[in-house]
Amino acid sequence: MTVLATLIDKQDNVEILRDQIAAILVAEVANQMALATGAAKDPADWKLRIFTERSNPWEQFIDPNEVGFDPSPLVNIWVDNMNYDPKASNVMERQKTEAVYNIDCYGFGRSANVLAGGHTPGDQEASFEVQRAVRLVRNILMAAENTYLQLRGLVWSRWPQSINIFQPQLGENTAQQIVGARLAFRVVFNEFSPQVVPETLELVAVDVIRTEDGEIVLEADYSYPLTP
Amino acid sequence: MSLRTIAEQDLATILEDGVTGFGWPITLTAPDGTVGALTGFSDDIAQVIDPDTGQAVSGRLASAALRTAAITAALPGKGLPVGIADAASKPWLVAFDDINGNAYTFKVAQSNPDRALGLVTLLLELYTV
């Protein structure tokens, strides 16, 4: 037996927030690059490439000799889990939701000659790159202006639950150095569900009158007997 | 002649036959810039990396295998290649072409010498000269 009269044609807020996190990061990274240019610094040091819900293998780092190769860190935002708090919800309409988004960052490093002497080790470079990426992401999302992720009224709070930086495993002596880091980002917000579509039984017009002594009096007109 | 000595001589035939075998020209550069032209095995193949995020990253595994005796003959007094961790020093470099003639230069990230047989396997990482 079907009871829902309307098509569920919407995104849940957990999806909207995932896209909102990505949109904030894309906009702020571009802004940071512009600010770096204005401060006579290399904007590439502020560049991140933002993705959502990607699970295909990254191929960007496979051949640094390719034309157009971009060594900027990758950021992938994906929904990990959601928990619903019944104490702060109601059974009809609204569920207070606590979602964890994994914001995975990937830093690429390549050993390079230093003309003045020595070299830059690729393993260290990859770690520095991924730490730079996760630093930017945390600072942007935890900025005071983003307390409610620019969705005040929907978002209760956001918090960086943890940051894990993964050392390359023993035996993975790959030609390119890649280090991953995960920022587990917790967001508390309202999730809504479809409601009963109300049916009009009778239209009632009411005049509200405040008397001299402050008493409120309602005056309504009914047609009687009620028309079906 | 002991079997072990014979095995080392066989290694020369297996590793360094660039005409009818898999031998491939490899250039080895010591940290002081001394260059040795050698023949050995070179590998540069695709490999999937998991940086522990659960997301695979396409990667490469590059390595070279060289005869110890050939290294010491080409680069006398330089010792065997090792991974150089010190950023203030130059690393050991390995350069070779792929089968299509594209040149690549690598840094020696790790060396696995087999002193019983006289073979050293070098695990390589990409290097910008």
What's A75's domain CATH number? 3.30.2000.10
CA-based nearest distance B62→chain A, Å: 6
Mutation to test the B interface, candidates A52, A125, A174, most B Cβ within 10 Å: A174
Average pLDDT of the residues in A181-207: 89
Cα–Cα distance between A122 and A10 in angstroms, integer? Answer: 45
Whether residue A52 lies within 8 A of chain B, CB to CB, comes out as no
Q: What is the ipTM of this complex?
A: 0.83
Structural domain that includes position A67: 13-192
**Residue B36: CB atoms within 10 Å:** 19
Select the residue of B52, B56, B90 nearest A166 (Cβ to Cβ). B52
CA max distance for chain B = 54
In A, minimum Cα distance to B55 occurs at A55
Is the per-residue pLDDT at A228 higher than 70?
no
Tokens at residue A123, please? 């393993």
* Structural domain boundaries in chain B: 3-126
Dihedral over alpha carbons A191, A197, A203, A208 (to 10 degrees): -10
Mutation to test the A interface, candidates B55, B96, B102, B107, most A Cβ within 10 Å: B55
What number of residues does chain A have? 228
Overall number of domains in chain A: 1
Examine residue A74 and state whether it is found in any structural domain, yes or no: yes
Examine residue A6 and state whether it is found in any structural domain, yes or no: no
Examine residue A1 and state whether it is found in any structural domain, yes or no: no
pTM, rounded to two decimals: 0.83
Mutation to test the B interface, candidates A106, A108, A173, A183, most B Cβ within 10 Å: A173
Cβ distance A111 to B107 less than 8 Å, yes or no, reads yes
What are the Cα distances from residue A62, in Å, to A117, A125, B57, B97, B126? 27, 16, 8, 17, 10
- Describe the crossing of helices A13-38 and A122-141 by its angle, rounded to 10 degrees: 110
Residue A56 is predicted with a pLDDT of 77
**Residue B18: CB atoms within 10 Å:** 12
Q: Are A128 and B87 in contact (CB under 8 A)?
A: no
The phi, psi pair for A35, rounded to 5°, reads -65, -40
Across the beta sheet with A74-85, the strand order is: A49-52, A74-85, A94-109, A177-192, A155-166
Residue A153, helix vs strand vs coil: coil
Tokens at residue A155, please? 């978002």
Q: Are A61 and A109 in contact (CB under 8 A)?
A: no
Q: Which residues contact B9 (CB under 8 A, 6 or more apart)?
A: none
Residue A198 is predicted with a pLDDT of 79
B55-107 pLDDT, tens digit per residue, is 888 888 899 999 999 999 999 999 999 999 999 999 999 999 999 999 999 99
DSSP code string of A77-92: EEEEEEEEEGGGS-SS
Average pLDDT of the residues in B12-32: 93
Residue A172's pLDDT band, with cuts at 50, 70 and 90, is low
Q: Are B16 and B67 in contact (CB under 8 A)?
A: yes
Average pLDDT of the residues in A107-130: 93
Cα–Cα distance between A70 and A130 in angstroms, integer? Answer: 15
Select the residue of B60, B87, B123 nearest A176 (Cβ to Cβ). B60
